[in-house]
Chain A
Amino acid sequence: MSEKITETEVRHIASLSRLKLTDEQVDAFAGELAAILSYVRQLEEVDVDGVEPTPYAVELRDVVRDDQVCPSFSPEQATANAPQREGSFFKVPKVLDQGAP
């Protein structure tokens, strides 16, 4: 693990997070993330050999239910909060014929 977070790394993480950052933010995050991660790295002291991970603290069991038709939102309700829509469709910029970002 690197001790410092580079500007390139911050931009990569921002891109994975789908976040646009200003240059000042990139600069600030490089320092802040490094400080927080260096604190978090104390977890390296702990001997976790053979220890199972706990994604949920309370034991979960599979839940099954009957396959029944239930009331749900109308397309009108489901799209009511969309910032842009056309009829009951969500409107987005063109996604085809473009290289991946």
Chain B
Amino acid sequence: MRTVKQTITTIQSRDMSATEAVRESLDAIEKRKGDIGAFLSVHGERALEKARDMDQRIAAGERNLPLAGLPVAVKDNMCTDFGKTTCASRILENYSSPYNAHVVDRLQQAGAIIVGKTNLDEFAMGASNEYSAFGPVRNPWDTRRVAGGSSGGSAAAVAAGMVPAALGSDTGGSIRMPASLCGTVGLKPTYGRVSRYGLVAFGSSLDQIGPLCKTVEDAAILLSAIAGHDPRDATSINESVPRFELGLDAPIRGTRIGFPRSFFVEGLEESTRRCVQAAIEVYRDNGAEIIDIELPHVKYAVACYYVVATAECSSNLARFDGVHYGYRALNPADVFDLYAASRHDGFGPEVIRRIMLGTYALSSGYYDAYYLRALRVRTLLRRDFANAFEKVDAIIAPVSPSTAYAIGEKSGDPLAMYLTDIYTTAANLTGTCAMSVPCGFDDQHLPVGFQLMGPVLAEQRILALGHQYQLHTDHHLAEPN
């Protein structure tokens, strides 16, 4: 499968048409449709029509189409004014959005062609992509195993060569976790870097959209296309957006990289530790200074996250009431029953669990003890990272405590599943940027990723570090059979 860079340059040089690129992508999707479950909807005819139109525009010499003809997929929690936007939930099974998410508009304006919408954990709540109402996503490296979640469809589609790039969303690790487990790059930008307009809300102070692709350079190209201020998202940051792909040459030499030793002590699978450690040595060998750092409150990140995220989820998902859109229970006794029965029938078990937890944490008598306390711990976490980033340019960490596990292994134990978010939630709670980069394989040839974390708005820095790493290694070139 071509990378984003290869695809767009091949189309620009007229060695391949947009139509050919899209057809190739649709063929690859069709071939592995049954065994991976990466897509919830494929829009082949529409995509081919858009591709033919794009070929004419390219032939007419139209400029300012940086992604002309690039086939892409978007996670099915991003609104599109065509097809369905289901969030992998029964409650939105037949929902047709009347508008596009900001990122969908941006991709299309740049010339990209959306071929389909990818599977996810219902409402993006999950770490394995087993909580989709329409079936799990299977890992392309071993289909008996999970793809990781919640953007599992986007990661699997890229890993299996169905599309060169896909968008995901990350509330507590949902881009980075599946990227790591499927052996792709996955970038969670700074909170506010990419507009959330048209992203179905889960945790509004944590949600962020970002790209999944084969290379760090590809992630930079995609981020340049989707980042930037949008007045329709009140938390969108009004800062200039560089062309990230032009700033990847900064050398590793002289960079100070933070090593949080506590991340590598317990709970980390040995083969994963070995691969991440090897990535650290690549940086050291190329002249980076590896500096021990302390993040004293990071051990509380998961606990803090599951209070904040579920509180925000319980509030955001109140809009699904069986009245305005979505599933409605038949013959309700009264309006209360209409709400309660529609929500009972429409939501899956993990979504119900999180709404219940969040409602509990916000309820009278528990608000101070849970929600307010978690927000204060969040402040301490922010300080930990602010202090660390005074001493180092970036932090290196694992993404997942283990490689992909068997489908069904953790899905019966919610707390065990939550604990796999141990390395990822801090970036969401602190609003900083972080990226998963492939760094090798375990004994069973399952991919391992490492995490590069940077301060707020330092995407350029972690992208350059990630790109330089990929110039020295070839893990990202491996493909599943």
Which of A33, A52, A78, A90 is the one whose CB lies under 8 Å from B357?
A33
Interface residues of A, count at CB 8 A:
52
**Please, which residue of chain A has its CB at the minimum distance from the CB of B358?**
A17
Q: Nearest CB to that of A95 among chain B residues?
A: B335
Q: Do A58 and B456 touch across chains, with their CB atoms under 8 A apart?
A: yes
A88 CB to closest chain B CB (Å) equals 13
Contact of A46 among B297, B322, B337, B414 (CB under 8 A): B297
- Interface positions, chain A 56-80, Cβ under 8 Å from B, are 56-58, 60, 63, 65, 73, 77-78, 80
How many angstroms from the CA of A83 to the CA of B148 in the assembled complex?
33
User: What bracket does the count of chain B residues touching chain A fall in?
Assistant: 35 or more
B283 interfacial contact with A, CB 8 Å:
no
| CB-based contact A20/B303 at 8 Å | no
Which of B96, B336, B377 contacts A81, CB < 8 Å?
Answer: B96
Contact with A along B89-130 (1 / 0, CB 8 A): 000001110110000000000000000000000000000000
Chain B proximity of A24: nearest CB distance (Å): 11
* CB-based contact A20/B337 at 8 Å: yes
User: Which chain B residues border A60 with CB–CB below 8 Å?
Assistant: 234-235
Contact B359 A48 (CB under 8 A): no
* B contact residues around A90 at 8 Å (CB): 323-324
* Contacts across chains A and B counted by CB atoms under 8 Å: 169
Residues of A within 8 A of B335 (CB): 92-95, 98
A-B CB contact pairs (8 Å), 5 listed: A14-B340, A17-B356, A20-B343, A32-B353, A43-B374
A83's partner among B98, B322, B337, B353 (CB-CB below 8 A) is B322
What residues make up the interface of B, taking CB atoms closer than 8 Å to A?
94-96, 98-99, 190-192, 205, 231, 234-235, 237, 297, 300, 302-304, 306-307, 314, 318, 321-328, 332, 334-341, 343-344, 347, 352-353, 355-357, 359-360, 363, 366, 369-370, 372-380, 382, 414-415, 418, 429-432, 456
Known: A48-B373, A51-B380, A53-B379. Is A82-B323 also a contact (CB below 8 A)? yes
Given A19-B356, A82-B323, check contact A1 B366 (CB 8 Å): yes
Which listed residue, A16, A57, A78, A95, touches B359 by the CB 8 Å rule? Answer: A16
Which residues of the partner chain B approach A8 to less than 8 Å between Cβ atoms? none
**Contact status B190-A48, CB under 8 Å:** no
Residues of B within 8 A of A43 (CB): 300, 303-304, 307, 370, 373-374, 377
Which B residues are CB-close (under 8 A) to A29?
353, 356
Q: Which of chain A's residues has its CB closest to B320's CB?
A: A18
Query: What are the nearest 3 A-B pairs in CB distance?
Result: A57-B431, A53-B375, A83-B328
Q: Which residues of B contact A17 (CB under 8 A)?
A: 314, 343, 355-356, 359
Binding site for B on A (CB under 8 A): 1, 10, 13-21, 25, 29, 32-33, 35-37, 39-44, 46, 48, 51-58, 60, 63, 65, 73, 77-78, 80-84, 90, 92-95, 98, 101
Given contacts A56-B235, A81-B96, A81-B325, contact A93 B318 (CB under 8 A): no
Kindly list chain B residues whose C-beta atoms are within 8 Å of the C-beta of A95.
Answer: 335
A82 to B249 Cα, complex, angstroms: 52
| In contact, A53 and B378 (Cβ under 8 angstroms) | yes
B376 touches A48 (CB 8 A): yes
